[in-house]
């Protein structure tokens, strides 16, 4: 069984930055109800999205944020292809749908893309890309074939004198 948790370093930095403004406001205007509620929401978001845990067992792969929030599970028999990919800034962090399918990510750009039989695609952000691919390969999940680099096309010079 494979299990790996990636911590949300970027989310921690953003929450700490916002928390600094909350602390400043708390110091300047005092602890009023709206400020306390906002601080509570920041703490809740930090707790719920502090990391992304990915688990692979003999029959399924599952992933969830923090203590098990907003996760999903997919049977390994439903996966037609798994491959290593790199996310870009447009994929963002958190859980979202993009033109590349569903993206679950908390930090960094490395990910593993899973393609299901029905065409659904998932990109799971991880800082242990090779470990996750190895766990999937051990459970007989088909891996994507490396793309062959195309050689430069031959330039055909034609004589138009005929």
Res 107: pLDDT:
83
Counting residues of the chain whose pLDDT is more than 70, the rounded percentage is 89
pLDDT on residue 151? 59
pLDDT of residue 162: 55
* Dihedral pair phi/psi, residue 14, rounded to 5°: -65, -45
- Whether 34 has a pLDDT exceeding 60, the answer reads yes
pLDDT single digits (tens) 144-160: 766 555 556 666 666 66
**Where is pLDDT greater, at 7 or 10?**
7
Q: Give alpha helix (H) positions in the chain.
A: 9-29, 33-48, 129-138
Q: What is the mean pLDDT of the chain?
A: 84
Q: Quick one: average pLDDT of 87-93?
A: 79
Exposure string of 7-41, with b = 16+ CB inside 10 Å and e = fewer, is ebeebbeebeeebeeeeebbeeeeeeeeeeebbee
What pLDDT score was predicted for residue 158? 61
Q: pTM above the 0.85 mark?
A: no
């Amino acid at each position: 069984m494979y299990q790996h948790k990636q911590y949300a370093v970027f989310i921690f930095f953003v929450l700490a930055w916002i928390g600094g403004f909350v602390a400043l406001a708390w110091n300047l205007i005092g602890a009023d109800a709206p400020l306390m509620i906002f601080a509570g929401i920041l703490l809740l978001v930090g707790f719920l999205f502090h990391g992304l845990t990915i688990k692979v067992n003999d029959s399924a792969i599952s992933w969830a944020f923090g203590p098990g929030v907003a996760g999903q599970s997919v049977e390994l028999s439903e996966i037609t292809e798994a491959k290593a990919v790199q996310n870009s800034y447009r994929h963002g962090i958190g859980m979202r749908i993009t033109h590349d399918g569903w993206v679950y990510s908390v930090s960094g750009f490395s990910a593993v893309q899973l393609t299901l039989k029905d065409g659904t695609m998932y990109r799971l952000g991880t800082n242990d890309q090779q470990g996750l691919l190895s766990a999937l390969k051990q459970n007989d999940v088909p891996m994507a074939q490396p793309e062959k680099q195309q050689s430069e096309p031959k330039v055909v010079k034609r004589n138009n004198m005929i």
